[in-house]
Amino acid sequence: MSKQTKPVKSSRRQFLKGAAVVGGAATLAVVARGGAAEVQSTNEVAAAPEKSKGYHVTPHIRAYYETLRD
C-alpha cells in the first residue's frame, strides 16, 4: 500500500533553465495579447532627450540640506 518514490535530484541549473522557459513563455503571452504596442509607446517617451543629466539641486534636496543644518 505504500508507494516508494525516487528521490528527486534538482539542481540550480535545472531550476534556472525552467525559470528561463517560464519567463520566455510569459513574454510571448504578453506580446501575443498586444502588449508590444504598449512597450513601443513607452520607448518613444524614453527616447525624448532629458534637459540635464547629473547632479542638480531640487527643492526636495534643499529641504534635506536644511534638516542637516539644525
Mind listing the pLDDT tens digit for each residue in 17-41? Answer: 888 888 888 888 887 777 655 555 5
| 47 has pLDDT over 70 | no
Alpha helices (runs of H) in 1-70, residue ranges in sequence order: 12-32, 35-47, 59-69
- Mean pLDDT, range 49-69, rounded to an integer: 85
**Domain locations in the chain?**
12-48
Query: 2 or 61: whose pLDDT is higher?
Result: 61
3-state secondary structure of 4: coil
The per-residue pLDDT for 5 is 72
Residue 47 amino acid letter? A
DSSP 33: T
Dig out the grid coordinates for 30 from the structure.
504578453
How many Å is the Cα radius of gyration of the chain?
25
The mean of the pLDDT values for the chain is: 76
State the pLDDT at residue 64: 92
